[in-house]
Chain A
Amino acid sequence: DTEVTQTPKHLVMGMTNKKSLKCEQHMGHRAMYWYKQKAKKPPELMFVYSYEKLSINESVPSRFSPECPNSSLLNLHLHALQPEDSALYLCASSQDSVGNQPQHFGDGTRLSIL
């Protein structure tokens, strides 16, 4: 079965903290994504990495900083977040970003900003 692993599952942080969300996949996928999902809303695309390069940034505030250390890993660095940033952060991957390949999601990190 396809698997995208996200850590941590839950994160509570203050507005002055710095933390990172991690995502890992070992399916050989070359495209990875970050989405933000608020309660009772659909996922909203934040970033797309294709072959370890940032290809799409959906006008996300600079307090969110993505990083793709290698083809299997995707991080999202958080700094000086606001209470409205509390949400479920989902990572997804697909074989590539140009073909019509399905995206598979991880279980997400539920983030709460105090």
Chain B
Amino acid sequence: GENVEQHPSTLSVQEGDSAVIKCTYSDSASNYFPWYKQELGKRPQLIIDIRSNVGEKKDQRIAVTLNKTAKHFSLHITETQPEDSAVYFCAARNAGNMLTFGGGTRLMVKP
């Protein structure tokens, strides 16, 4: 089955700095990669996703890049704000249409 590794597990940045979270996946047939933000006690919320036929996607301060050859994808958050503090999960959907999540990254943005 699919295995998704996510790094780092915790990330602390100063407000205004950039944050980068990286994920690798094992199943070369995986073709859809969403990112979720989960604040404490709340539901995972989809923030951006990318499909395997695209190398990069951007939405305001958030961007995701995908390298299919290397089987890794990354989330980039620019100009971080305290409200960006949360746990971020990457995920990969394989040919069996199952979504496998990475272990999560706790992002802390210090004012």
Does more than half of chain B's interface fall in helix, strand or loop, or is it mixed? strand
A98 within 8 A of B: yes
The verdict on A100 contacting B31 (CB below 8 Å), with A105-B44, A105-B45, A108-B43 known, is yes
Report which residue of B31, B89, B102 has the largest number of chain A beta carbons within 10 angstroms of its beta carbon: B89
The verdict on A100 contacting B93 (CB below 8 Å), with A40-B104, A105-B45 known, is yes
**CB–CB A45/B98 < 8 A:** yes
- Produce 1/0 per residue, A25-62, CB < 8 A to B: 00000000000000011111100100000001000000
Q: Across the interface, which residues of B come within 8 angstroms of A21, CB to CB?
A: none
What is the size, in residues, of chain A's interface with B at 8 Å between Cβ atoms?
19
Complex CA distance for A40 and B41, rounded to whole angstroms: 11
**CB–CB B42/A102 < 8 A:** no
Complex CA distance for A114 and B43, rounded to whole angstroms: 24
Complex CA distance for A33 and B36, rounded to whole angstroms: 16
Contact of A45 among B42, B49, B51, B99 (CB under 8 A): B99
Q: Show 15 residue pairs from A and B whose CB-CB distance is below 8 angstroms, ordered by the A residue.
A: A42-B101, A42-B103, A45-B100, A48-B97, A56-B97, A97-B97, A98-B97, A102-B46, A102-B49, A103-B99, A105-B43, A105-B44, A105-B45, A107-B42, A107-B43
Chain B contact residues, CB within 8 Å of chain A: 31-32, 34, 36, 42-46, 49, 51, 89, 93, 96-104
Contact of A42 among B31, B97, B104 (CB under 8 A): B104
The verdict on A103 contacting B34 (CB below 8 Å), with A42-B104, A45-B98, A97-B97 known, is yes
CB distance from B66 to the nearest CB of A (A): 13
